[in-house]
C-alpha cells in the first residue's frame, strides 16, 4: 500500500490526545497494583552535619505503618554515588536530603507517622551562597557532558586591550527549578521471581533501567521500567532521581508494591535545578562592529555530593567570528543539592549573557543589533574549524525583522512612551546542537495494512509518539493509521533519553532503518535496527539549529511592571516533522524564556540552606495572561547531513535567546541596562525608571 501524501511535514493531531483529555492516559502514580502500600519521604532539616540519633517508635505505633527506613536499616546499594546513595550514610549534605521514609497502608498514615519521626543532628556550619570570589573555586575536569572546561585561541588579552570598542560586563542568573506539571513519582513492584518493575515518570526508561539494575545488583533484563505518558520534565527527569531508588528499597522492605511521589516542595530539594551563574563577557571590536576578541568566564555551583558542571560558555565558542577567543568555567562545591539538566543546559544561561553583551556592543558601536550579528556570522565553526552542516542564523534574523516590523524601530533608547508606559523592542539570537545518539527499533508487519513499531523512547508531552508515527508511515510507504507506535517501556529496543533535543533525531533514525528494511523485503515479517555504526560513520561537521527571538515590552514607570504584548521566534531547524507540535514546543520554550527573564527565581535561604519559595504560589511562572501575542515560525531548511529525516531538535532552542531579547527590549524601553535576572519590580524601580 502506498501513502498518497507524505506524513512528515503534516500538522497531525496528537495520536494520544483523546486518551489524555478523557483521563485514560495513565501517568506513573496512577497505575493500579494489588496490595499497594505508600511511602512518604522524611527530609533533613539541616544543611550539613550527621544524624546523631533516630527515634521512630511513635511513627511505628501509628495504625497501618509497615516500616520506617533510615540509614541504619536500609538495604545496601551497589556502587551508589551522589544523590542516588539513598539512606547509605548518616551524613547530611544539604537541607531537604532524604534521611528516612515511612511506609504504610495509606498515604494518610504515612503522613501522620512521618511527622512523628524524631531525628537528632550534629549540625555543622554550611556554605550555600555562590559568589565570584568564593575561596574554593576550582576548575572541573570537564563540563557537561564532555566538553573541555576552558578554551583559548589567538591572543585574547592583547586583542581586547587593542580593540577600538570594548565591552566588559558581568551578568548573573539565579537558581531555577524545572517544575514539570507531573511530580516525580514511582511505583515499585518486586516480582516473585526477584525481578523489579517500576512505573516511573522518566525521560528515559532505558537509562533508568540500567541505573536501578546497577544499584540493586541485577541484570538489566531483570528490571522493567514503564512510562507510557510523562507530564513534563524539562530535564529534571532525564536521570533516575533518589525517589526511584527509595521506592525500590521500600517495596523490597515490605514485600509489597509501593508508591512514592515527591511533593511540590520536595521537588525543590532532590530532583535537580539549574545552577546560578556569574558570567563575565568581554567583547572587543573595531568601530565597524567586526569583532576581534571574545571571552566568556563562568562561575557556577555544584554540590559536595556529586559534581555537575553546566557548559554555560560552550555556545560562545561557536556563535560568532573573532580571531582571539577564550572561555572558562569554575565551580564552587556548596552544601546544596546537586544541580542538573534544565531545558537547554548551558546554552540557556550562557546565551542570555552573550546576547545581552552583543546588544551592548551594538549600542557602543552605533550599529543595529541585527546587523552586528550578521556582520560577525562565521563561515566555519570558529574554534573547531569544522564546516557547518547548515547555518541559517542570518535568514532567521532577516525573516524575523521583516515580520516584526524592525525597520520602523527608533534605535534611541527610551524614545517611545504611552502615558506611564515605556515601550521598547529587543532581539537576540539562539542556537542549540543538532545531535543524535545510537538507538534500536523494532518493526513488525501484522498484516497487509497494519504495522507495529516499538522503541523505548519517551513522550514527555512533546508529541514524540505522533512524530515517530509520521516518520514510520513514510518509511513504510503507508498511511499514518496503518502504523501503531509503542514507546515508554524498557522492554522495547533500547533508546536514549528524551533530552538534549536529540530524541526525534535519535529514535527516528532507528525507526526509519527498521521500517525501510521491512519495506525492502515484502516477505520479511519483523526487523530490528541498530544505528550505532551509522552514527559512528557520521561526517565530522558542526551541527546546530539556529533562531532569532524578537520581543516587545511595556515598562510601567509607576509600578515597575513589565508586560510583553508580543513575541516572535524564527527558527532554522531542518525538516519540521509536525508543524503543530513543533509550534507548541517552540512557543513553550519562548514562554519559559520570558518567565526566566521576568519571574522565575529560586530564593536561597542563607541561614537554613534551602529555598524560601518552594511552591508554585511563590515560584512564579508565566501564564496565558502574561503574554498577549506569541508566535513561532521557521525558515525552510534542508540538511541531509543530520539523519534520515533531515530534522534538528526543537525542544530547547525556543528558550535559549528569549531572556536576552526581553532584557534587550527593556533596555530599549527604559535606557537602563539590567544584568541580573529576574527583572523584578524592585530592580526596575531602584533603577529610577521614569
Q: How many CB atoms lie within 10 A of CB 64?
A: 15
Q: Name the grid cell of 682.
A: 524592585
Residue 4's pLDDT is what? 54
Residue 400's pLDDT is what? 98
- Would you place residue 569 in the very low, low, confident or very high pLDDT band (cuts 50, 70, 90)? very high
Give dist(CA 239, CA 340) in Å, integer. 9
Q: Name the grid cell of 412.
A: 534611541
Q: Name the grid cell of 191.
A: 516480582
Q: How many CB atoms lie within 10 A of CB 559?
A: 11
What distance lies between CA 614 and its chain's CA centroid?
A: 19
Q: How many CB atoms lie within 10 A of CB 611?
A: 24
**Are 570 and 403 a contacting pair, CB within 8 Å?**
yes
Q: How many CB atoms lie within 10 A of CB 252?
A: 17
Residue 74 clears pLDDT 50, i.e. is over it? yes
For range 266-286, the mean pLDDT: 97
- CA-based angle 339:342:348, to the nearest 5? 110
Residue 171 clears pLDDT 60, i.e. is over it? yes
Give dist(CA 78, CA 48) in Å, integer. 24
What DSSP character marks residue 202?
Answer: -
Q: Name the grid cell of 40.
A: 512518604
pLDDT tens digit sequence for 375-389: 999 999 999 999 999
Give dist(CA 615, CA 177) in Å, integer. 10
Residue 277's pLDDT is what? 98
Give dist(CA 562, CA 149) in Å, integer. 37
Residues 6+ apart with CB under 8 A from 40: 101, 102, 104, 107, 110, 111, 113, 114
pLDDT tens digit sequence for 13-23: 999 999 999 99
Distances (CA, A) of 153 to 150, 237, 377, 387: 11, 37, 18, 18
**In the block, which residue shows the cell 539556529?**
546
pLDDT tens digit sequence for 334-352: 999 999 999 999 999 999 9
CA dihedral over 233, 236, 238, 241, signed as positive or negative? negative
Q: Which residues in 662-680 are b (16+ Cβ under 10 Å) and which e?
A: bbbbbbbbbebbbbebbbb
**Are 661 and 426 a contacting pair, CB within 8 Å?**
yes
Kindly name the residue from 300, 347, 399, 652 that is annotated as catalytic.
Answer: 652
- Longest Cα separation, the chain: 77
- Please confirm, yes or no, whether 652 is among the known catalytic residues: yes
Closest by CA position to 166, among listed 294, 278, 279? 294
Percent of the chain with pLDDT over 70: 99
Pairing of strands 627-634, 562-572: parallel
Task: Dump strand ranges (E) for 95-202.
Answer: 98-104, 118-123, 151-153, 165-173, 185-190, 196-200
Q: Name the grid cell of 301.
A: 555551583
For range 639-665, the mean pLDDT: 97
Peptide bond into 670 cis (omega under 30): no
For range 36-43, the mean pLDDT: 98
Give dist(CA 306, CA 333) in Å, integer. 9
Give dist(CA 566, CA 662) in Å, integer. 11
For 274, half-sphere exposure in the C-beta direction (CA atoms, 13 angstrom radius) is 27
Q: How many CB atoms lie within 10 A of CB 466?
A: 23
**Are 201 and 184 a contacting pair, CB within 8 Å?**
yes
Residue 2 clears pLDDT 90, i.e. is over it? no
pLDDT tens digit sequence for 138-154: 999 999 999 999 999 99
For residue 489, the SS3 value is strand
Give dist(CA 629, CA 565) in Å, integer. 6
Q: How many residues does the chain have?
A: 690
Give dist(CA 464, CA 577) in Å, integer. 10
Residue 1's pLDDT is what? 46
Give dist(CA 651, CA 639) in Å, integer. 18
Q: How many helices (H) and strands (E) does the chain have?
A: 18, 24
Give dist(CA 16, CA 503) in Å, integer. 18
Residues 6+ apart with CB under 8 A from 294: 156, 282, 283, 284, 316, 320, 322, 324, 325, 326
Question: Whole-number mean pLDDT of the chain?
Answer: 97
Give dist(CA 55, CA 59) in Å, integer. 8
Pairing of strands 562-572, 544-556: antiparallel
Written as one string, the DSSP assignment of 654-679 is HHHTHHHHHHHHHHHHHS----BSS-
Give dist(CA 277, CA 512) in Å, integer. 41
Give dist(CA 271, CA 239) in Å, integer. 9
Residue 153's pLDDT is what? 97
For 562, half-sphere exposure in the C-beta direction (CA atoms, 13 angstrom radius) is 31
Give dist(CA 208, CA 522) in Å, integer. 36
pTM across the whole model: 0.97
Give dist(CA 336, CA 274) in Å, integer. 12
**Are 388 and 380 a contacting pair, CB within 8 Å?**
yes
**Are 199 and 227 a contacting pair, CB within 8 Å?**
yes
**In the block, which residue shows the cell 541559517?**
392
Give residue 116's region: left, alpha or beta (phi > 0; psi -120 to 50). alpha
The secondary element (H helix, E strand) that includes residue 1 is none
Residue 663 clears pLDDT 80, i.e. is over it? yes
Amino acid at each position: 500500500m502506498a501513502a498518497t501524501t507524505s506524513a512528515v511535514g503534516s500538522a497531525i493531531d496528537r495520536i494520544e490526545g483523546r486518551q489524555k483529555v478523557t483521563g485514560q492516559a495513565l501517568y506513573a502514580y496512577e497505575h493500579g497494583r494489588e496490595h499497594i502500600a505508600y511511602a512518604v519521604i522524611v527530609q533533613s532539616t539541616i544543611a550539613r552535619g550527621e544524624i546523631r540519633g533516630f527515634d521512630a517508635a511513635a511513627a511505628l505505633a501509628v495504625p497501618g505503618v509497615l516500616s520506617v527506613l533510615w540509614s541504619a536499616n536500609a538495604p545496601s546499594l551497589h556502587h551508589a554515588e551522589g544523590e542516588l546513595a539513598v539512606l547509605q550514610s548518616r551524613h547530611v549534605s544539604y537541607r531537604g536530603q532524604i534521611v528516612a521514609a515511612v511506609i504504610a497502608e495509606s498515604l494518610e498514615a504515612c503522613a501522620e507517622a512521618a511527622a512523628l519521626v524524631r531525628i537528632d543532628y550534629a549540625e555543622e556550619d554550611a556554605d550555600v551562597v555562590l559568589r565570584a570570589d568564593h575561596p574554593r573555586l576550582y576548575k572541573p575536569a570537564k563540563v557537561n557532558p564532555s566538553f573541555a572546561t576552558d578554551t583559548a585561541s589567538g591572543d585574547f588579552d592583547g586583542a581586547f586591550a587593542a580593540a577600538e570598542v570594548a565591552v566588559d560586563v558581568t551578568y548573573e542568573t539565579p537558581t531555577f527549578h524545572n517544575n514539570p506539571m507531573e511530580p516525580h513519582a514511582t511505583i515499585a513492584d518486586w516480582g516473585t521471581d526477584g525481578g523489579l518493575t517500576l512505573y516511573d515518570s522518566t525521560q528515559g526508561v532505558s537509562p533508568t533501567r540500567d541505573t536501578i539494575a546497577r544499584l540493586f545488583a541485577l541484570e538489566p533484563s531483570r528490571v522493567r521500567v514503564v512510562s507510557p505518558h510523562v507530564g513534563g520534565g524539562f530535564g529534571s527527569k532525564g536521570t533516575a532521581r533518589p525517589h526511584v531508588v527509595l521506592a525500590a528499597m521500600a517495596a523490597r522492605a515490605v514485600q509489597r508494591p509501593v508508591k512514592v511521589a515527591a511533593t511540590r516542595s520536595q521537588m525543590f530539594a532532590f530532583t535537580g535545578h539549574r545552577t546560578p551563574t556569574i558570567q563575565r563577557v568581554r567583547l572587543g571590536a573595531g568601530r565597524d562592529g567586526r569583532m576581534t576578541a571574545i571571552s566568556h568566564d563562568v562561575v557556577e555551583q555544584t554540590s559536595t555530593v556529586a559534581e555537575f558542571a553546566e557548559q554555560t560558555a560552550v555556545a560562545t565558542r561557536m556563535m560568532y567570528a573573532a580571531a582571539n577567543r577564550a572561555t572558562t568555567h569554575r565551580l564552587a562545591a556548596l552544601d546544596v543539592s546537586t544541580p542538573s539538566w534544565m531545558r537547554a543546559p548551558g546554552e540557556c544561561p550562557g546565551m542570555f549573557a552573550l546576547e545581552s553583551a552583543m546588544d551592548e556592543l551594538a549600542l557602543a558601536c552605533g550599529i543595529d543589533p541585527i546587523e552586528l550579528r550578521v556582520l560577525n556570522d562565521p563561515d566555519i565553526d570558529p574554534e573547531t574549524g569544522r564546516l557547518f552542516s547548515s547555518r541559517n542564523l542570518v535568514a532567521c534574523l532577516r525573516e524575523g525583522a521583516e515580520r516584526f516590523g524592525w525597520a520602523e524601530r527608533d534605535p534611541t533608547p527610551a524614545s517611545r512612551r504611552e502615558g506611564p508606559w515605556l515601550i521598547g523592542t529587543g532581539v537576540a539570537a539562539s542556537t542549540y546542537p543538532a545531535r543524535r545518539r545510537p538507538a534500536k527499533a523494532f518493526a513488525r508487519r501484522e498484516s497487509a495494512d497494519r504495522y507495529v513499531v516499538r522503541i523505548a523512547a519517551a513522550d514527555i508531552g512533546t508529541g514524540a509518539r505522533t512524530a515517530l508515527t509520521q516518520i514510520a508511515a513514510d518509511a513504510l510507504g503507508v498511511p499514518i493509521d496503518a502504523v501503531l507506535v509503542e514507546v515508554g517501556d524498557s522492554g522495547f529496543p533500547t533508546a536514549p533519553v528524551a533530552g538534549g533535543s536529540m530524541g526525534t533525531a535519535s529514535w527516528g533514525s532507528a525507526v526509519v532503518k527498521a521500517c525501510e528494511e521491512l519495506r525492502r523485503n515484502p516477505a520479511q515479517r519483523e526487523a530490528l535496527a541498530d544505528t550505532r555504526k551509522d552514527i559512528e560513520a557520521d561526517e565530522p561537521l558542526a551541527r546546530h539549529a539556529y533562531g532569532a527571538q524578537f520581543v516587545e515590552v511595556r515598562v510601567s514607570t509607576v509600578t515597575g511592571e513589565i508586560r510583553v504584548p508580543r513575541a516572535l521566534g524564527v527558527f532554522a531547524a531542518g525538516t519540521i516533522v509536525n508543524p503543530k507540535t513543533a509550534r507548541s514546543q517552540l512557543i513553550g520554550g519562548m514562554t519559559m524564556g520570558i518567565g526566566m527573564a521576568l519571574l522565575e527565581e529560586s530564593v536561597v535561604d542563607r541561614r537554613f540552606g534551602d529555598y524560601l519559595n518552594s511552591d508554585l504560589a511563590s515560584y512564579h511562572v508565566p501564564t496565558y495572561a502574561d503574554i498577549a501575542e506569541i508566535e513561532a515560525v521557521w525558515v525552510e531548511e534542508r540538511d541531509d547531513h543530520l539523519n534520515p529525516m533531515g530534522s534538528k531538535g526543537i525542544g530547547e532552542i525556543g528558550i535559549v535567546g528569549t531572556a536576552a531579547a526581553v532584557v534587550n527590549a527593556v533596555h530599549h524601553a527604559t535606557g537602563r541596562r539590567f544584568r541580573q535576572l529576574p527583572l523584578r519590580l524592585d530592580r526596575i524601580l531602584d533603577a529610577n525608571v521614569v
